[in-house]
Amino acid sequence: MRNLPLERRVEAHAAGRETVRVETRARLVRAVLAFLDGNGVRVSEDERARVASCTDDALVESWLFKAPFIANAAELFDED
């Protein structure tokens, strides 16, 4: 890696950070769905797809904090 030009190292570092961000978001999405499933909250395929396709890290994180306390999946998408 040190043999690469600085510009390439910066690009590689940025790509690595993005990969970590995407993988972390995927884990959070799985956690949201696991909380809902574990609490017996019925989640439709459309709702699952909405959660799984979200690319807003802050929104997924907010869903993670809501998930243990809601009675139905629609509450997940309610804005505070």
Q: Which residue has the tokens 């510009």?
A: 7
pLDDT tens-digit series, residues 52-65 = 999 999 999 999 99
* C-alpha pair distances (Å), 72 with each of 11, 25, 32: 42, 22, 13
Which residues lie below 8 Å from residue 48, measured CB to CB, with a gap of 6+? 33
Cβ(32)–Cβ(61) below 8 Å = no
- pLDDT tens digits along 21-55: 889 999 999 999 999 999 999 999 999 999 999 99
Residues 6+ away with beta carbon under 8 Å from 47: 73, 74, 76, 77
